[in-house]
Amino acid sequence: MQKNDVIYIAGHRGLVGSALVRRLAKDGCTNLLLRRSSELDLRNQAAVNAFFAEHKPAYVFLAAAKVGGIVANDTYPADFIRDNLQIQTNIIDAAYRNGVKKLLFLGSSCIYPKLAPQPMPENCLLTGPLEPTNECYAIAKIAGLKMCAAYRRQYGFNAISVMPTNLYGPEDNFDLQTSHVVPALIRKFHEAKVAGAATVSVWGTGQPRREFLHVDDLADACVYLMRNYDGEELVNIGVGQDITIGELARLVAEVVGFEGDIQFDVEKPDGTPRKLLDVSKLTSIGWKAGIDLREGLAQAYAWYTESEAR
């Protein structure tokens, strides 16, 4: 992948896509192909085929997806499975048919079984039941990585799949109804600090363990793998260590400057007990994360307060 190659980033305005734009721009890549959803509906097969036929990108980062937290996944399962299947199917097929040199498909660690061994190795895929609250999203993502593997096997199409752990950072979604845990906590603690509230309620028991990767680290890993990995097998992308939700909540409170009490609402769902990726394969390929969690949370909080001020 050279600096003057046409590189299409599907989903460039989202958390992952915007980080890829920043990372590639930093590398001096000058031909980034970007389209808003209002300009190109990725669920429309004919529109996607016409787009690829016209612009002929050489490389594709497939970061476009319908995403959300526990509430959104559990409330709108039909939307999550339909939209994600349409988006990824259209892009992967159009990329193959229009001579794309290489495609990178971004999955999610929720593809692994709810009670997978910890840390989760790539080969535990499809060895047990999924977490029910995000099953439809996970099934769509599994279909995407299997499609990449099938197109590689049958057509010789160079498509690779990566599985990032829980992400956070600039351009995240801070809507309390649809966001993931880090932006939700940042917003809750910030609003409580501003309002002078004495307590903040956090969903669940605080006992589940999660791994968190700054999205700029993910973008760096994706560019690295695009240049250095060509296998059919998926690759986990994470930091290799996790913390409890309770520990995360206390860390976010410190970063934000909230000094009140934290109460855990045990009536709300915990989700999967633990999600930690085995990143030994990624490490053996030559990459590891570089952004410390506290440092990354401070960056995310700064971005949130700046965006609120705009």
Residue 210 labelled as part of a binding site:
yes
DSSP H or E run through 280: helix 280-285
Residue 141 labelled as part of a binding site:
yes
Residue 115 labelled as part of a binding site:
no
What whole-number distance in Å separates Cα of residue 47 and Cα of residue 288?
A: 38
Residue 13 labelled as part of a binding site:
yes
Residue 12 labelled as part of a binding site:
yes
Strand ranges of the sheet holding 7-10, from the earlier edge strand across to the other edge: 32-33, 7-10, 59-62, 102-106, 159-164, 235-237
In 27-114, where does DSSP find H-type helix?
A: 45-55, 70-75, 77-97
Distances (CA, A) of 86 to 89, 169, 241: 5, 27, 34
Chain-centroid distance of CA 292 in Å reads 18
Contact 207, 244 (CB under 8 A): yes
- Nearest CA to 305 among 256, 271, 259? 256
Residue 287 labelled as part of a binding site:
no
In the chain, where does DSSP find H-type helix?
A: 15-26, 45-55, 70-75, 77-97, 135-155, 181-195, 215-228, 245-256, 280-285, 293-309
Q: Helix (H, G, I), strand (E, B), or coil: what is residue 7?
A: strand
Residue 32 labelled as part of a binding site:
no
Residue 104 labelled as part of a binding site:
no
Whether residue 137 lies in the annotated active site: yes
On the question of a cis peptide bond just before residue 119, with omega within 30 degrees of 0, the verdict is yes
Residue 190 labelled as part of a binding site:
no
Residue 165 labelled as part of a binding site:
yes
Residue 193 labelled as part of a binding site:
no
Residue of 8, 96, 112, 137 marked active site = 137
Residue 231 labelled as part of a binding site:
no
Residue 201 labelled as part of a binding site:
no
Annotated binding site: 11-17, 106-109, 141, 164-167, 180, 188, 203, 210, 270
Q: Report the catalytic residues.
A: 137
Annotated binding site for substrate: 188, 203, 210, 270
Annotated binding site for NADP(+): 11-17, 106-109, 141, 164-167, 180
